[in-house]
Amino acid sequence: MSEKPTVLFVCVHNAGRSQMAAGYLRALAGDDVEVLSAGSAPKDAINPVAIAAMAEEGIDIAGNTPKVLTVDAVRESDVVITMGCGDACPIFPGKRYEDWKLDDPAGQGIEAVRPIRDAIRARVVTLLSELVPV
């Protein structure tokens, strides 16, 4: 792993789970980790309920734009976290891959998205503790 680890969060639409995870890691890691996110079939915009759920945590993801998953993004990353699209992600030797089983917030109300958001936060906190030990 490089001096400053790079983490790529990938979900199908890059509009909910991966954006929330990236938002948390950016907020919690500051400049200690490079954070990327992408989707295998990205939507046009971030899920508004995901934006609202993250705003409750004081994290603004409203200005983000879903991005398409590229081979280069995977190649540049030290850790690749998939959330429901593992088959679409290219595999490179020497990378750390994790598949986080999380419900998709698409089409869900805020009451259903909060537990997904909270589960993502818990996993991001654990990941950060492994990448940047105190």
- Which residue among the candidates 20, 85, 102, 120 is catalytic per the annotation? 85
Q: 11 catalytic, yes or no?
A: yes
What percentage of the chain's residues is helix, strand, coil (to nearest 5)?
Answer: 40, 15, 45
Q: 85 catalytic, yes or no?
A: yes
Q: Give 14's Cβ-side CA count (13 Å radius).
A: 20
Distance CA 128, CA 73 (A): 20
Residue type, 54: M
- Which residue among the candidates 10, 12, 89, 120 is catalytic per the annotation? 89
> Which one, of 99, 133, 97, 103, lies nearest residue 119 by Cα?
103
Q: How far apart are the first and last CA of the chain?
A: 17
Distance CA 110, CA 20 (A): 14
Active site amino acids:
11, 85, 89
